[in-house]
Amino acid sequence: MNVSRNLLEIRDLTIDFHTDEGRVRAVENLNLSIRPGEVMGLVGESGSGKSITAKSIMRLAPGNAVIQHPSQITLNHQGQEVNILKLRGRDLRLVRGDAVSMIFQEPMASFAPAIRISDQIIQTMQIHLGYDKDQARRAGIELFDRVGIVDPAKRFDQYVFELSGGMRQRAMIAMALSTQPKLLIADEPTTALDVTIQAQVLELMMELREQLGMAMLFITHDLGVVSKIADNVTVMQRGEVVEAGSADRVLFQPQHPYTQRLLDALPHLENLPEAPQHTPQPLLSVKDLSISYPVSGNGRKTELFTAVKNISLDLPEGQIIGLVGESGSGKTSLGKAMLGAAPISSGHVEYHHTKKKVKFGAGKAVKRKRLARTAQLVFQDPYSSLNPRMTVRDIIAEPLEAMRLTKNREETDQRVIEVAQRCHIEVEHLRRFPHAFSGGQRQRISIARALVCKPRFIVADESVAALDVSIQAEILSLLKQLKDELGLTILFISHDLSVIANLCDWVCVMRYGELVEQGTVRQIFLDPQQDYTQKLIASIPLLNSPEGRSQRSPSLLQVAEQFAGSGLNYSQLERI
């Protein structure tokens, strides 16, 4: 492939950040090129430098970022090579909308909250296309229609918070497309969305790409998503490219161990664990459980919001049970209710085979200390769940000291060190404060705290959602190990089906506060009975096999390349 035919070419990109601790290298000698019409997947975890790379293309790098000298970013615009890093003033509009536009991760935050979406889109069109207001408006509504927004004329004039999550991202896409760019940068466009909506948005993006033939730089940490959409993949780790090549090559014959690790984190439906021979005894039973929260309804009177409706459930002992659902399905409420931390409006929770009877529910208060010795919680957010003013030792020792389970300080320290070693926390670190730790390490502390009083049951509420894939894998293997060693029962709440598939023995699916289906992992993932479960399973971004990938029309890609640089816009392309 002729080098000059590349739409975008990044050579030796090196970026430093000025921080309080001095210079920190964010990106080192990055090379990347995108041909017209090509979809490039840029994969990496947080801190790998992928976002800052994308922002440098649009010259949006923050003030403390320094793009070092030999770096070069060139854009092929109407037959001319433009050095992006030298652009100034009004010329910057070339990469800010004209030829390049961007979809951000959080659509809610990327629309100005107090300005109508219509005004923001019209303004963009006026700047780049020179449309007048009516023309821009018509084009905008058309775009809204095109990205699959129902009732586009009405939605067009709304504010961003009035749209639902999926609609927002569609609006964001419409906004990005409104200037008819040649290169679309999508920065984790589906990460913040629920699985089913994620699948819809991906579908839409693929469709648009086929229709419009623009090039795309698709940034994500999820190889499954990349496999669906990208032609070529670049994998970054700590600011450096570790592997690059065609999607088929990188995803199916990975060379670098890091890529391999990322791939391992994807669900492997072909070797799901076997169901145990005999069904174990239930550890706890939930009977007709409903949970209601008071919400202030428009200031007139308080209404009750029922998060969980009449659920009955037995959790088998010694297994990891996955609780799956999309946001708002009531899964967290259910998990917290099992720990007596949610307002139960009817029904009860009962633990079996405990020394002292643990049973609570509507009209029956929780015996906090008994429960605390039986069941513990590992939180979702590793930052807010650790008191920033206590040392790690104090945090882990909290249950022991609060319930006076040990005789003296020495015994407490002994127990803390023991559990810390089990959770792979270095003993010297016990004197430190939580702010000194990364997310993964904090989550270990959180697990250690949960384990220190030797409970039999642990609820892990989205405990790996805030972590990077490779760290997720570490925490998950720790949980598995703990289950095997200590015979723990773990309720693992997650929206992420890949994690569930890799970890759990038994799976429950929730939707709108109701239990949709439960069964072994194999039953749920391979033979789902309910419509909703089927839909959910189908939207997991699995690796597409090479055969599946080749179904994408290659002709269109060629057409796009042919017309690249000739000032063709998408409306023309569509007619071909």
Q: Tell me whether residue 396 or residue 473 sits nearer to another protein (CB atom).
A: 396
Beta carbons of 40 and 234 less than 8 angstroms apart: yes
Among residues 35, 57, 53, which one has the least CA distance to residue 230? 35
For the bound state, the minimum distance from the C-beta of residue 404 to another protein, rounded and expressed in Å, comes to 9
For the bound state, the minimum distance from the C-beta of residue 297 to another protein, rounded and expressed in Å, comes to 7
Cα of 73 vs its chain's centroid, Å? 29
User: Which value, to the nearest 10 degrees, does the dihedral of the CA atoms of residues 169, 172, 174, 179 take?
Assistant: -160
Q: Tell me whether residue 62 or residue 363 sits nearer to another protein (CB atom).
A: 62
CA distance linking residue 325 with residue 335, whole number of Å: 12
Q: Tell me whether residue 63 or residue 363 sits nearer to another protein (CB atom).
A: 63
CA distance linking residue 480 with residue 486, whole number of Å: 10
E runs forming strands in 317-438: 320-324, 344-351, 358-361, 375-378
Q: Tell me whether residue 357 or residue 431 sits nearer to another protein (CB atom).
A: 431
Question: What three-state secondary structure class fits 336?
Answer: helix
Question: What three-state secondary structure class fits 150?
Answer: coil
For the bound state, the minimum distance from the C-beta of residue 17 to another protein, rounded and expressed in Å, comes to 6
For the bound state, the minimum distance from the C-beta of residue 180 to another protein, rounded and expressed in Å, comes to 13
Beta carbons of 546 and 252 less than 8 angstroms apart: yes
For the bound state, the minimum distance from the C-beta of residue 574 to another protein, rounded and expressed in Å, comes to 23
Q: What is the Cβ-side half-sphere exposure of residue 191, based on CA atoms within 13 angstroms? A: 23
Q: Tell me whether residue 69 or residue 278 sits nearer to another protein (CB atom).
A: 69
Q: Tell me whether residue 47 or residue 165 sits nearer to another protein (CB atom).
A: 47
For the bound state, the minimum distance from the C-beta of residue 390 to another protein, rounded and expressed in Å, comes to 8
For the bound state, the minimum distance from the C-beta of residue 304 to another protein, rounded and expressed in Å, comes to 16
410: left (phi over 0), alpha (psi -120 to 50) or beta: alpha
Strands 320-324, 489-494: pairing is: parallel
Q: Tell me whether residue 55 or residue 522 sits nearer to another protein (CB atom).
A: 55
Q: Tell me whether residue 52 or residue 540 sits nearer to another protein (CB atom).
A: 52
Beta carbons of 126 and 119 less than 8 angstroms apart: no
Q: Tell me whether residue 119 or residue 248 sits nearer to another protein (CB atom).
A: 119
**Residue-by-residue DSSP string for 525-548:** HHS--SHHHHHHHHTS-PPPPHHH
For the bound state, the minimum distance from the C-beta of residue 556 to another protein, rounded and expressed in Å, comes to 27
What angle in degrees, to the nearest 10, is found between the helix axes of 133-146 and 117-129? 110
Among residues 472, 575, 463, 551, which one has the least CA distance to residue 206? 551
